[in-house]
């Protein structure tokens, strides 16, 4: 559990293909994660059992949940129910704040 986190206390985890992740505060039920994308980076289609909210901190993205596509700008947010196939393409370099419930144990191993 990380109940209080300063940005300089956590290193970015390089994910490849122009993406990096920084796990922020979390407990067993909730986790916040910053995900940074370079121009053109693609968050490949995937699904997981966790409910997720993505909030655009900066940049521009196309984000899809199954067959529906959204264009997202700073301040926009979206909910992805667990089990839904989703992904995104970064149109303008930026950062998403992803919130997961329950927390993603695979992100802290």
Which token pair is 67?
């067959």
**Which candidate, 73, 86, 3, places its Cα nearest to that of 45?**
86
Instruction: Decide: 65 and 23 in contact? Cβ < 8 Å.
Output: no
Please provide the CATH number assigned to the domain covering 7-107: 2.60.120.10
Which residues lie across from 72 on neighbouring strands?
A: 61
Q: Each residue of 59-92: pLDDT tens digit?
A: 999 999 999 999 999 999 999 999 999 999 999 9
Q: Give me the residues paired with residue 47 across strands.
A: none
Contacts of 16 by beta carbon, 8 Å cutoff, 6+ apart? none
Render pLDDT for 23-68 as a digit per residue (tens, 0 to 9): 999 999 999 999 999 999 999 999 999 999 999 999 999 999 999 9
pTM: 0.95
- For residue 31, what are the β-bridge partners? 26, 100
């Amino acid at each position: 559990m990380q109940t209080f986190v300063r940005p300089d206390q956590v290193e970015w985890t390089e994910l490849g293909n122009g993406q990096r992740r920084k796990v922020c505060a979390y407990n067993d039920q909730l986790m916040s994660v910053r995900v940074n994308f370079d121009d053109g980076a693609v968050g490949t289609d995937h699904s997981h059992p966790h409910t997720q909210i993505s909030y655009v901190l900066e940049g521009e993205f196309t984000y899809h949940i199954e067959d529906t596509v959204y264009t997202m700008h700073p301040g926009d947010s979206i909910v992805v129910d667990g089990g839904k196939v989703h992904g995104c393409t970064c149109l303008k370099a930026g950062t998403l704040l992803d919130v997961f419930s329950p927390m993603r144990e695979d992100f802290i191993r």
